[in-house]
Each structure stands twice: as structure tokens, then as C-alpha cells.
Amino acid sequence: MHRHGYQGRKFGRKTDQREALIKGLADSLVLRESIETTLPKAKEVMSYTEKLITRAKKGGLHNRRQIISGLQTKAAAHKLVDELAPKLNARNSGHLRVKKTGLRRGDNAQLARVSFVDDLDKKAPAPKAGKPAPKQAAKRAPARKPAVKTTAKEKK
């Protein structure tokens, strides 16, 4: 999935280095199903991987070969086509989510986590609409007055 005449983010790299970076991030995202990187890289890899997911959902030998060329390892390409794409058939788009996580300690760069949306939804199920969740009263200890020390002069 080479993009000639590219007008996106350049990351201060030459074309081949930039393509290798995006391929590597996409490969890691497919294998691990979640990665943390800088926000601009996260946005770029999300766009790139969404297109690969669309190809994987179509299936067929030609699309599989294009996915293999779009990722760094064959294992990631086969996982995307055989395992992940069938799970994502219910969605037309929006398979990935970018969530800001914090700032990097060294250079204060904004970090973000890219992950598959369906995986996040399985981990944290939403409460059912029929019954509202019971409210738990916060139990607090009664407030105590701070102990005041008195000196010998004050006692007299």
C-alpha cells in the first residue's frame, strides 16, 4: 500500500523510512491488538490500518497479497485476514479507537493508545438500559477535630 504523492504527516523522515515506520506500527497493532505511540503517529497508523482492515474483510487472494505487502510480517497479515476481519464484519468503518494517554516524560510529547473498538467494548460491558444501577452511598468516617497541644504556659 504505497502512497505516492503523499500529503500527510512526514515525521521528519524520508519516504522509505516513513513507510517502514507506518508498516511496523500497523504490524504491531494487528499482532498485539493495541499499541501506544505519539498522537500524530497514532492517527496516521489508524488511517493506514483501517484501509487494510477493509481489504481483509473483502477477502480473496489478491486482497490477501496486498495486505501481506502492507504489513511487515506474514503472520500479522494472516491474523488480520483469518482472525480479526471476521469479528469486524458487523462494522462498516471505525474499527480502531485512538485514546490520549498522557505526556511522554523525556520530551513532553502527547501519547495515545490505538486499539480495536470491539475489544474495548467486551472488556467493559455497558449497564443494561432496563434497570438503573443501584447507587452506593459513600460511607465516610465522622469528621474529627484535630488534637490541639497545649503548652505549660497556656495551662496556667
Indicate whether 144 pLDDT > 90.
no
40-78 confidence digits (pLDDT tens): 999 999 999 999 999 999 999 999 999 999 999 999 999
Q: Identify the pLDDT of residue 140.
A: 57
Percent of the chain with pLDDT over 70: 71
Give the C-alpha separation, 50 to 56, whole Å.
Answer: 10
Q: Identify the pLDDT of residue 4.
A: 60
Which strand ranges, in their side-by-side order, compose the sheet holding 34-38?
34-38, 110-116, 96-103
Domain boundaries defined on the chain:
15-125
Residue pair 113/35 in contact (Cβ under 8 Å)? The answer is: yes
Name the superfamily (CATH) of residues 15-125: Ribosomal protein L17 (3.90.1030.10)
76-130 confidence digits (pLDDT tens): 999 999 999 999 999 898 999 999 999 999 999 999 999 999 754 454 444 455 5
User: pLDDT confidence of 25, banded at 50, 70, 90?
Assistant: very high
Q: Identify the pLDDT of residue 8.
A: 76
- Look over the chain and give the mean of its residue pLDDT values, rounded to a whole number: 84
Q: How many residues does the chain have?
A: 156
Give the C-alpha separation, 78 to 51, whole Å.
Answer: 16
Angle made by CA atoms 104, 106, 109, in degrees to the nearest 5: 40
Question: Does residue 37 sit in helix, strand or coil?
Answer: strand
